Structure 1
Amino acid sequence: MKIGIVITAAGRGERFIQAGGKGNKLNAMFKGKTVFEHTLHQALASGLPVRVVTRPENLPVQQACAKHQVQVTLLASGGLGESIAAGVAATADWDGWLIHLADMPFVAPHVFLQVANALRQHPIVRPSFQQQPGHPVGFSSALRKQLCALRGDNGARELVSHQQVHLLHLAQQTIVQDIDLPSQLADSE
């Protein structure tokens, strides 16, 4: 069973910019690398295949992917749903997908592996921390058609809300931590 990680990196990061951030938050420096590079390194360290969906104009993300020979799907995304659909469609030979948000650099490699292992027995797997849903969210190939039809900015929320979801209760708060504001970059130094 071939399970891989789709990193969605095609958002505009509007909250980050509205809060005073400069440019795309994924390219902001954080502990010596960009936010995206941290996320990419964590995913690659899992040993699972990785595909990135990003905007055509986001050259730093594309360059980081090229450096690590990670395939990229370019998409002027109108929302997370479109990004997920594009990533799943581009990896039709996979049997399952871990959908991960590029602004979540704290998720450790072993979390990706735990979700992937649980996905071998369940059609949807989601890690949680103290009743908070986290990432990555795993989907089996039984949901390929629905994933490829996603649109809008709600990602796969509607799909998850209408299906049985296997929750992995984890002790890592990192599965719910993202970077949305410039102040979070300083807090994490």
Structure 2
Amino acid sequence: MKSRPAVVVLAAGRGSRFRGLHHKLVQTLGASTVLATTISNALATQMPVLVVTTEPLAEMVSRHVATRDMVVLPPAGSPAAQALGMGYSIAAGVAARSDASGWLILPADMPMIQTSTLRQVADELDGNAIAYAQHRGLRGHPVGFSAELYSELVMLTGDEGARRLLARYPAMGVEVDDPGVLLDVDTEDDLDRVRVAQREMQFREAR
């Protein structure tokens, strides 16, 4: 049976720009949280899902995925994590799903990305080294990488992420009718915008 792309949810960042009392990923979003909504959208694709997180969020993540579907890194900001960053999170997630035919990198603070968008980007990895979602011509997330880039992905470190791969290889933009590909939660104002977007989407679906 042909392997499928895996969704790697990145939930290991410090979220230092968010000034609320608690981590941005545990903030409420409707009847759920930012993190849980993102994971649920990923699971709904029926593709393999792996969550890269840290110890403070591990218990919450474990409510949604099995232990084998988690990679727990040292807490962001700790001495052990200083050399890590987004690049290391991507590398850890890809290495943990080395048998996948590709990987969709999904930031956990982007809960409005639709399941259909994840599937559309995954489909483009059949013929492209890199594919990414875009809305009205603006590049967003997720970004997908095919298996041919495995050796480079697992060597990533630091906070640059996979930017140098995007600069080196041709990438296919997948136009989607999904403004959620541009909406992340970095600040409290961002969270307010995401909450409004969710209510508007629920209203449209209920009509």
| TM-score, normalized by the shorter chain, greater than 0.5 | yes
Q: Which aligned segments of 4 or more residues in structure 1 are displaced greater than 6 angstroms?
A: none
Q: CA deviation at 1:61?
A: 3.2
Whose Rg is larger? 2
> In the alignment, what sits opposite 2:16?
14
Once the two structures are TM-superposed, the CA of residue 95 in structure 1 deviates from its matched residue by 1.3
2:51 is matched with which residue? 52
2:173 to 160, 167, 173: 167
1:115 and 1:30 map into 2 onto residues whose CA distance is 25
Q: Report the CA distance between 1:42 and its aligned residue.
A: 0.7
Indicate if the aligned counterparts of 2:36 and 2:61 stay in contact, CA closer than 8 A. no
Q: Report how far residue 25 of structure 1 moved.
A: 0.7
1:84-121 deviation line (CA, Å, top 9, x unaligned):
00000111111100010000000111111101111111
Identity of aligned residues (%): 36
Q: Work out the CA distance in 1 between the residues paired with 2:177 and 2:139.
A: 12
Q: In the TM superposition, what whole-angstrom CA distance separates every residue of 1:22-47 from its partner, at most 9, and x where no partner exists?
A: 22111111112110000011111111
Q: CA RMSD in A?
A: 1.6
What per-residue deviation string (whole Å, max 9, x for no partner) do you get for residues 35-71 of structure 1? 00000111111111100000122234333334x6771
Q: Is the 8 A contact 2:58 2:72 kept in 1?
A: no
Matches within 5 A, 1:17-28: 20-28=19-27
Say which is worse superposed, 31-40 or 55-64, in terms of deviation: 55-64
The answer to whether 1:113 aligns with 2:119 is yes
Report the AA paired with residue 34 of structure 2: V
- C-alpha separation in 2, matches of 1:99 and 1:111: 13
Is the 1:98–1:116 contact (alpha carbons within 8 Å) kept by the matching residues of 2?
Answer: yes
Letter in 1 for 2:103: W
Correspondence for 2:5 = 3
Aligned equivalents of 2:139, 2:60: Cα separation in 1: 26
Give unpaired runs (5+ residues) of structure 1.
Answer: none
